[in-house]
């Protein structure tokens, strides 16, 4: 379902929130670090570079992403694995658990955060970033096209990503005995290229939709969506402005 090349199209825009998240992770010498939903693993390598003495685990459920992550031999301290992030068991309690732009694909964040917090060592840090753009015109237009009779039957069971509010994340995690630092940032990306917002969405949000539809119907879906996106996000000489909001949480286990 995942396509590493399409995902890497807007690499710089997608990378920035990871570094802004990491800036708030104040851990000196962790022994075990995980990146859950690591994708192509470029950012997992950043973790291995920051904490050279730690064992670092990059975990992703997509064979294609993990294959891409392993293409360049990782340093000895870093291991990539194919696994579901919620069920994955670390070999030892984690001092740092990072997840960048992945948890929104997993349902029931109440249950999920419980599972993730249980993987932490005492004083361990859980740091995640999730897109919070689900009410943006781009996502609303995807919903409209999904609802058309020619697509709806095949897409009924295809999940839409979701994120909880910052207040809900704070309440859930403090209830689990963690202290919480949570914030939201809106990025105004000015995307280069033709049909840039469609290209952006094809790297992430549209993956499950296109995978459920198959090549021919998938093309029909994109042909229907394209003019709607062009109208909602006009292209200028400088590029296509696309406002994108993300939520960040850094939580430390205190008991
Ligand atoms: C948008 S990409 C982010 C990749 C990487 N964290 C980054 O920031 O470049 C989302 C990744 O989450 C992975 N993913 C989604 N659901 C998952 C799950 N339940 N378990 C493990 N990985 C999952 C996908 O396979 C995909 O590689």
- Residue 111 sits in a domain of what CATH number? 3.40.50.150
What is the tally of structural domains in the chain?
1
Q: Which two tokens stand for residue 204?
A: 């992430």
**Which range of residues forms the domain containing residue 66?**
4-253
DSSP conformation letters of 2-21 = --HHHHGGGHHHHHHHHHHH
Residue 146 CA to residue 167 CA, distance in Å, equals 30
Q: Which two tokens stand for residue 234?
A: 């006009």
H or E element at residue 114: helix 109-117
Residues with CB under 6 A from ligand 1: 2, 14, 18, 37-39, 43, 60-62, 65, 84-85, 100-102, 105-106, 204
- Give the residue, by CA position, lying nearest to ligand 1 atom 1: 101
Residue 210 CA to residue 6 CA, distance in Å, equals 13
The closest alpha carbon to 14, from 97, 130, 142, belongs to 130
Low-confidence ranges of the chain (pLDDT < 50): none
Q: Which two tokens stand for residue 169?
A: 């994340």
Q: Which two tokens stand for residue 203?
A: 């790297």
All residues at 6 or more sequence positions from 162 whose CB lies less than 8 Å from its CB, including other chains: 104, 107, 109, 134
Specify the pLDDT at position 14.
86
Pocket test for ligand 1, best of 37, 67, 131 (most atoms within 8 A of CB): 37
- Give the residue, by CA position, lying nearest to ligand 1 atom 10: 102
Residue 39 CA to residue 249 CA, distance in Å, equals 20
Q: Provide the total of helices (H) and of strands (E) in the chain, helices listed first.
A: 10, 7
Residue 247 CA to residue 168 CA, distance in Å, equals 12
Residue 11 CA to residue 39 CA, distance in Å, equals 12
Residue 137 CA to residue 143 CA, distance in Å, equals 10
CA dihedral angle for residue 190, residue 192, residue 196, residue 197, rounded to 10 degrees: -10
Q: Which two tokens stand for residue 172?
A: 């859930």
Pocket test for ligand 1, best of 102, 158, 200, 204 (most atoms within 8 A of CB): 102
Q: Which two tokens stand for residue 156?
A: 């009924």
CB atoms within 10 A of CB 145: 21
- How many angstroms separate the alpha carbon of residue 236 from the centre of ligand 1? 32
Residues 22-38 pLDDT 10s: 999 999 999 999 999 99
Residue 233 main-chain phi, psi, to 5 deg: -130, 80
- How many angstroms separate the alpha carbon of residue 243 from the centre of ligand 1? 22
Residues 102-152 pLDDT 10s: 999 999 999 999 999 999 999 999 999 999 999 999 999 999 999 999 999
- Give the residue, by CA position, lying nearest to ligand 1 atom 26: 39
Instruction: Give the bridge partners for 231, in sequence order.
Output: none
* Contact predicate 226/198, CB 8 Å: yes
Specify the pLDDT at position 7.
61
Residue 207 CA to residue 201 CA, distance in Å, equals 8
- How many angstroms separate the alpha carbon of residue 60 from the centre of ligand 1? 6
- How many angstroms separate the alpha carbon of residue 135 from the centre of ligand 1? 21
């Amino acid at each position: 379902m995942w396509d590493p090349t399409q995902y890497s199209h807007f690499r710089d825009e997608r990378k920035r929130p990871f570094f802004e998240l990491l800036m708030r992770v104040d851990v000196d010498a962790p022994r075990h670090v995980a990146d859950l939903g690591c994708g192509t693993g470029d950012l997992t390598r950043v973790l291995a570079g920051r904490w050279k003495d730690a064992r670092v685990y990059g975990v992703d459920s997509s064979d294609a992403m993990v294959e891409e992550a392993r293409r360049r031999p990782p340093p000895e301290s870093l291991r990539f694995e194919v696994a579901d992030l919620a069920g994955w068991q670390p070999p030892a309690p984690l001092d740092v658990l990072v997840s960048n732009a992945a948890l929104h694909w997993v349902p029931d964040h109440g249950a999920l955060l419980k599972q993730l917090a249980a993987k932490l060592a005492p004083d361990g840090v859980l740091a995640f970033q999730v897109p919070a753009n689900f009410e943006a015109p781009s996502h609303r237009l995807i919903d409209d096209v999904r609802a058309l009779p020619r697509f709806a039957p095949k897409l009924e069971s295809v999940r839409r990503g979701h994120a909880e509010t910052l207040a809900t994340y704070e309440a859930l995690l403090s209830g689990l005995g963690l202290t919480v630092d949570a914030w939201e940032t809106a990025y105004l990306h000015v995307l280069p290229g033709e049909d840039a917002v469609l290209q952006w969405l094809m790297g992430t949000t549209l993956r499950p939709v296109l995978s459920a539809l198959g090549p021919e119907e998938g093309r029909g879906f994109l042909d229907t969506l394209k003019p709607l996106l062009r109208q909602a996000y006009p292209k200028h000489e400088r590029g296509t402005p696309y406002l994108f909001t993300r939520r960040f949480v850094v939580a430390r286990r205190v008991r």
